Amino acid sequence: MQNSTDNGGQLQITNKGFQFLLQDVNTQVWAFLLQYLDMAELGSLELGENYSVDTLTQTQLQMLEDLRDYGIVYQRKKHSKRYYPTRLATTLTSGKSALATVAGKYNHMMQETNIDDTTDTESVDQGFIILETNYKLYAYTDSPLQIAVLNLFVQLQSRFRNMVTGVITRDSIRNALMKGITAEQIIYYLQSHAHPQMRKETPVLPLTVVDQIRLWEMERNRLKPTPSYLYHEFNVQADFDAAEKYARDLGVLLWSNNQKRTMAITEAGHENVKGFVKRRLQRA
């Protein structure tokens, strides 16, 4: 999050934040843990051995409570001065299987504490998105989080008790691209949250929609801003033709229009072309 100057200093989600929301639960848990504790170091500790909390920073001490709830470390008491890495801690860096276990422990913890998070976890596990070849999308969820994520790249149209409908458009994808979200991240999110009925098909997502999302991204990336100088109002066509040829030979010509006697020169080539034009006009 960062303070937005446009909205009176209110907190606004960053590009990295949008990208984080589109990741799967396992990757999110992994990224969350790495923010607070060196998990590679934790994974190198010996299983069952006890270690002192005196070497941990204040932030790591706070994170230790979450690690205890996840089952990554064990403490005899809440304020114990020693902690024990569990088998999950020593295998956490080995792959997604361990991460899935962490996510499973998190879901179990949510249920034990009576936190209403079942909608999100069930939606992620089972899949809730149906995407048609006409770009229409149906999401069987009433989770505010899932709906907010979809709103990043889908033009939502209707909302019902347990379903929202929308359509993927050029403008909705462009809005997502402007937030730093890539086409591949959108496609991955749609595929990883596809409804079980869609998973029966091969490929899972309609190729027409997938290809169009990529084309919309390419369309936006084909234009690249370049600092330049605009030359125009040449009184004589021969002067313009000579300056254009000189700039082209130097490799600093970005664009030109012969009929309007206008051309764009790179910032690096401006001084050379300007000098050439002045010398030619002086000779004339």
Give the residue among 59, 52, 1 at the shortest CA–CA distance from 34.
59
284 pLDDT higher than 80:
no
pLDDT tens-digit map of 33-54: 655 555 445 555 676 788 888 8
Per-residue pLDDT band at 104 (split at 50, 70, 90): low
DSSP state of 71: T
Distances 27 to 15, 32, 87, 164 between C-alpha atoms, Å: 17, 8, 20, 26
- Confidence at residue 72, expressed as pLDDT on a 0 to 100 scale: 76
Please give the pLDDT value at position 178: 87
Distance CA(183)–CA(225), nearest Å, equals: 21
Q: How far apart are CA 3 and CA 34, in angstroms?
A: 24
Residue 119: is its pLDDT beyond 50? no
Q: What is the mean pLDDT of residues 140-159?
A: 93
Report how far apart, in Å, the C-alpha atoms of 14 and of each of 11, 18, 36 are: 9, 6, 20
Domain boundaries, the chain: 15-93, 126-221, 228-282
Poorest-confidence range of 113-117, 139-143, 273-277? Answer: 113-117
pLDDT at 253 over 70: yes
Computed over every residue of the chain, the mean pLDDT equals 81
Tens digits of per-residue pLDDT, 220-251? 877 778 899 999 989 999 999 999 999 999 99
Would you state the pLDDT for residue 97? 46
Label residue 180 by pLDDT band (50, 70, 90): confident
pLDDT value, residue 121: 40
| Architecture of the 228-282 domain | 2-Layer Sandwich (3.30)
**Dist. CA 146–CA 122, nearest whole Å:** 12
Residue predicted with more confidence, 12 or 273: 273
